[in-house]
């Protein structure tokens, strides 16, 4: 549950970061920011999926 | 002889590290996690200050940086934290005796090792007073392409996620795990 809560918070920050970088950064930096923010979000989703899949009970 | 010394004088360095990974592993992990989460709060606050409140990036210094601006501007603090992370991950590794928890913990360690090199590069530039490729501020290798705020959100995430997975498997070992734990961290099902 704690991991899920953390990842939810992470996804909110990443989404806000994606929107902000789209509006405020030049194209080259924006692309780089989008790549790292996307990887961070995917890492979070991966963690939640892994933990829930292997969970013997609801966490 | 060595064993006898360790038994009669448990406060040797090897005895200390041994106990950290056995009797006190849970306490040590909790303490380490407090440090890691406090650092996360700073980065999440910085994200909120920039992305939601619209503060200029140099002004967005988290909570500590509002009170002690010099502290956050100093590369030493960032490098120091990277070293603390590296030491914590290395010191507490032998308590992770399972296949899964050890794999994810060491994954976090090696990613943090690279992250620490990046901070070492920043710290070196700050000490020498000469920045990479004539940049106006100390710049790490990946920072040549990726802005610093987003890069550090990324680094902190890709170090923390394997740590979190490792701790999950440490607390709730899978049935396939055959190695006996050395600590009492595991939660009874």
State the virtual CA torsion across B58, B68, A17, B149 in degrees, nearest 10: 70
pLDDT confidence tier of residue A56, bands split at 50, 70 and 90: low
| Cβ-Cβ contacts under 8 Å, B154 against chain A | 36-37, 39-40
A45 touches B at CB < 8 Å: no
Flag whether B104 is in a domain.
yes
Average pLDDT over residues B16-28: 95
* pTM for this prediction: 0.89
Q: Looking at the complex, does the CB of residue A42 fall below 8 Å from at least one CB of chain B?
A: no
Average pLDDT value for residue range B18-44: 95
Q: How do residues A25-54 score in pLDDT, each as one tens digit?
A: 999 999 999 999 999 999 999 999 999 988
Asked if the model's pLDDT at residue A59 lies above 70, the reply is no
Percent of chain B with pLDDT over 70: 93
CA distance A33 to chain B (A): 6
Q: Is residue B9's pLDDT more than 80?
A: no
Tokens of B56: 């200029």
Closest by CA position to B108, among listed B30, B162, B152, B34: B162
Neighbouring CB atoms inside 10 A of B46's CB total: 22
C-alpha B172/C-alpha B104 separation (Å) is 14
Q: Give the range of the structural domain holding residue B72, as residue numbers without chain letter.
A: 2-171
**Domain total of chain B:** 1
Contact call for residues B141 and B119 (beta carbons, < 8 A): no
Nearest to B35 by CA among B97, B107, B92, B101: B92
For chains A and B, CB pairs below 8 A equal 72
pLDDT in tens, B116-164: 999 999 999 999 999 999 999 999 999 999 999 999 999 999 999 999 9
Interface test with B, best of A13, A26, A39 (most B CBs within 10 A): A13
Question: In the 3-class helix/strand/coil scheme, how is chain B assigned residue by residue?
Answer: CHHHHHHHCCCCHHHHHHHHCCCCHHHHHHHHHHHHHHHHHHHHHHHHHHHCCCCCHHHCCCCHHHHCHHHHHCHHHHHHHHHHHHHHHHHCHHHCCCHHHHHHHHHHHHHHHHHHHHHHHHHHHHHHCCCHHHCCCCCCCHHHCCCHHHHHHHHHHHHHHHHHHHHHHHHCCCCCCCCCCCCCCCCCC
ipTM: 0.91
The minimum CA-CA distance between B168 and chain A, rounded to whole Å, is: 7
**Rounded Cα distance, B120 and B76, in Å:** 9
Is A57 a residue whose pLDDT tops 70?
no
At A2 the pLDDT is 86
Query: So what's the pLDDT on residue B11?
Result: 54
For residue B13, pLDDT over 70 is answered with no
Question: Given pLDDT bands bounded at 50, 70 and 90, which one contains residue B176?
Answer: confident
CB contact under 8 Å between A55 and B172, yes or no, is: yes
Could you say which DSSP state residue A54 is in?
T
| C-beta separation of B58 from B102 below 8 A | no
Is the pLDDT at B89 greater than 80? The verdict is: yes
Q: Is A48 on the interface with B (CB under 8 A)?
A: no
């Amino acid at each position: 549950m704690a991991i899920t809560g953390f990842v939810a918070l992470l996804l909110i920050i990443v989404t806000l970061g994606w929107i902000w970088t789209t509006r405020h950064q030049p194209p080259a930096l924006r692309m780089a920011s989008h790549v790292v923010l996307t990887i961070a979000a995917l890492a979070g989703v991966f963690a939640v999926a892994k933990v829930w899949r292997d969970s013997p009970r609801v966490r | 002889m060595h064993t006898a010394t360790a038994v009669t004088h448990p406060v040797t360095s090897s005895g200390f590290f041994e106990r950290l990974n056995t009797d006190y592993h849970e306490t040590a992990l909790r303490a380490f996690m407090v440090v890691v989460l406090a650092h996360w709060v700073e980065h999440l606050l910085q994200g909120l200050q920039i992305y939601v409140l619209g503060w200029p990036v140099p002004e967005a210094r988290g909570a500590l940086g509002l009170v002690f601006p010099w502290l956050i501007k100093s590369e030493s603090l960032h490098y120091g934290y990277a070293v603390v992370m590296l030491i914590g991950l290395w010191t507490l590794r032998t308590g992770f005796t399972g296949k899964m928890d050890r794999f994810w913990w060491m994954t976090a360690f090696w990613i943090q090792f690279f992250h620490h090199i990046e901070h070492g590069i920043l710290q070196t530039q700050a000490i020498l007073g000469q920045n990479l490729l004539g940049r106006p501020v100390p710049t790490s290798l990946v920072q040549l392409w990726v802005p610093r705020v987003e890069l550090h959100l990324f680094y902190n995430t890709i170090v923390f996620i394997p740590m979190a997975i490792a701790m999950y498997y440490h607390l709730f070992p899978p049935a396939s795990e055959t190695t006996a734990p050395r600590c009492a961290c595991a939660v009874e099902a």
